[in-house]
Amino acid sequence: MVNFGSLREAIKRIDIPTLIIVFFLIGLFILAAATKVSVTTLLSDSIVRIGMNGVLVLAMLPTIRAGIGPNFGLPVGIIGGLLGGLIVMQYQVAGPIGFWIAVGISIVINFVLGWIYAWLLDKVRGQEMMVETYVGYSIVAFMSIMWLVLPFTNPEMIWAIGGKGLRYTLTLQNYFDKALNNFLRFQIGKNFSFPTGLVLFFAGSCYLVWLFFKTRPGLAIDLTGQNELYAISSGVNPKKARRNAVILSTVIAGVGILVYAQSYGFLQLYQAPLFMTFPAVASILIGGASIRRATITNVVLGTILFQTLLTVSLPVLSQVTRGDITEVLRLIVSNGMILYALTRTPKEAS
């Protein structure tokens, strides 16, 4: 029997923006059905986008739980991931195995990057979000110089004319394009294709992270984020706990960008890493997280809502106006959500 009392309580606890988005989404679906846009294609595309972005959103979880807020410095981890992918391409490792090797390399790189990054953040305790953002920007700008200078020689990667420097986007067609998506993919009818490997990977990552927070180091992170003094009185070293959270977040981000890239089919360099951060932050917030509190449910729910919104709005709204309204919508929704989260009083946030 549905307990209406607790249902009402549950709804009261959902944020207003989240509710708005849900209603907007329902409206879009109805519009889609009414205007003969294929709903099954929409669903299929949505699932792909959810799987492809989910792991990046997952990277937000550890730092929020550690009390540092969402990881605005996602580009650091993304660059580690990109390096992994680039190395795989440079050594011409073809096929799905390339994906796993890239993941492995990126984890190692991001362990180191994450360590350094955590050291920096600890020095600026209290201003993490701002410093993260601009460190992220600086590193992306710095790496833009590096992409031009680093000695990659695979002709598929570098500019045809001039022969020096990596291109803006590198196609993964001969490498690990769709490595996860195609794994155990199955089709229902004409329009619906289910990327089993991708969904399994996302679900598996969520499960691993969920499990991690049940271990002692995970608990240490939680305690540090909830009440630093309680954590200290339990023998936790808050600096170490926060460091672990940052490293974990960075590592997940590296894996996340590779998941994204294999689904998209391209590795995007230069300015691209910057565009992944705010949507990921917004997604977890839309899923119900706050600056101080987040759960796996927030990750999954938020990714589903945000990505479905973006997927569905393009074909549906392009019947009314130009297609690039999705870009604008993305800007407004993601930044609006983050703004909402930042302007809530601490009482509202918990």
Partner 1 sequence: MRNINKFYYGNQVLKDVTITLDEGEILGLVGENGAGKSTLMNILFGMPVIHSTGGFGGEIVFKGERVNIDSPMKAMELGIGMVHQEFMLLPGFTVTENIKLNREITKPNFLSMVFGKRLELLDMEPMREEARKALDTIGMHSIDEMHLVAGLPVAHKQFVEIAREIDKRSLKLLVLDEPTAVLTESEAEILLNVVRLLSQKGISIIFISHRLHEVLEVAHKIVILRDGAVVGEGPKEKFTLFEIAEKMVGRKVENLELPPRKVPLDENKIIMSIKDLHVHMPGEEVKGFSIDIREGEILGIGGLAGQGKLGVANGIFGMYPATGKVTYMGKEYQLNSPLFALKNGIVYVSEDRRGVGLLLDESVEMNIVATAIQAFGMFTKRFLGFTIYDRKAIREHALRMIKELDIRCKGPAQPVRRLSGGNQQKVCLARAFTLNPKVLFVSEPTRGIDVGAKKLVLDYLVKLNREHGITIVLTSSELAELKSICDRIAIVCEGKLAAVLPPTASDVEFGLAMAGELEEVKAHG
Partner 2 sequence: MQKRMSLKDILIANAVPITFFILTFLAVLVAKIPILFLLSEIVRRLSRNTFLVLALIIPVVAGLGLNFAIVLGAMAAQAALFFVVDWGITGLSGILLAIVISSVISIFLGWIAGKTLNRAKGREMITSMILGFFANGVYQLIFLFFVGSLIPFKKTDFLLPQGVGLRNTVDLFGIVDGALNDLLTLNIGFITIYIVPLIFVVGLCVFLTFLLKTKLGQDFKAVGQDMHIARTAGIDVDKTRIIAVILSTVFASIGQVIYLQDIGTINTYNSHEQIGLFSIAALLVGGASVKKANIWNAILGVILFHALFVVAPSAGNRLFGQPQIGEFFREFIAYAVIAFALAMHGWRSRKGK
Question: In terms of DSSP bridges, do strands 186-188 and 169-171 run parallel, antiparallel, or are they unpaired?
Answer: unpaired
Check binding of 133 to partner 2 (CB under 8 A): yes
Residue 167 contact partner, candidates partner 1, partner 2, none, CB within 5 to 8 A by sort of partner:
none
Q: Does 144 bind partner 2 (CB under 8 A)?
A: yes
In this complex, which beta carbon is closest to partner 2, that of residue 73 or of residue 254? 73
Residue 123, classed as helix, strand or coil, is helix
- The 10 Å Cβ neighbour count of residue 241 is 24
Q: Which SS3 state, helix, strand or coil, does residue 166 take?
A: strand
| Distance in angstroms (rounded) separating the CA atoms of residues 306 and 300 | 10
Give the whole-angstrom CA distance, residue 289 versus residue 70: 10
Binding pattern for the stretch 262-301 against partner 2, x by CB under 8 A and - elsewhere: ----------------x-----------------------
- The piece of 26-34, 122-130, 206-214, 305-313 that touches partner 2 (CB under 8 A) is 122-130
Q: How far is the CB of 13 from partner 1 (least distance, A)?
A: 13
Q: Among partner 2, partner 1, none, what binds residue 36 when CB lies within 5 to 8 Å by partner kind?
A: none
Residues 177 and 95: their CA atoms lie apart, in Å, by 8
Considering the complex, state which of residue 78 and residue 241 has its C-beta at the smaller distance from partner 1.
241
**If contact means CB under 5 to 8 A according to the sort of partner, which of partner 1, partner 2, none does residue 137 touch?**
partner 2
Q: Which residues lie across from 170 on neighbouring strands?
A: 267
Contact partner at residue 229 from partner 1, partner 2, none, CB < 5 to 8 Å by partner kind: partner 1
Residue 138 binds: one of partner 1, partner 2, none (C-beta under 5 to 8 A by kind): partner 2
Residue 129's binding partner among partner 2, partner 1, none (Cβ under 5 to 8 angstroms by kind) is partner 2
Nearest to 58 by CA among 45, 43, 74, 46: 74
CA–CA distance, 75 with 87 (Å, rounded to integer)? 18
Residue 343 touching partner 2 (CB under 8 A): yes
Distance of alpha carbon 85 from alpha carbon 106, whole angstroms = 8
- Residue 145 found at the interface with partner 2 (CB under 8 A): yes
Nearest approach in angstroms of CB 254 to partner 2 is 21
The three-state secondary structure class of 198 is helix
Binding-site ranges for partner 1 (CB under 8 A): 211-212, 214-216, 219-220, 223, 226-227, 229-230, 232-236, 293, 350
| 142 lines the binding site for partner 2 (CB under 8 A) | yes
In Å, the largest CA–CA distance within the chain is: 70
116 touching partner 2, by CB under 8 A: no
Q: What DSSP string runs through 47-111?
A: HHHHHHHHHHHHTHHHHHHTTS-S-TTHHHHHHHHHHHHHHHHHTT--STHHHHHHHHHHHHHHH
Residue 193 vs 307, nearer CB to partner 2: 307
Cα 312 to its chain centre, rounded Å, is 19
349 binds, among partner 2, partner 1, none (CB under 5 to 8 A by kind): none
Kind and range of the H or E run holding 191: none
User: Shortest distance, CB of residue 67 to partner 2, whole angstroms?
Assistant: 14
Q: Determine the size of the site formed for partner 2 (CB under 8 A).
A: 41
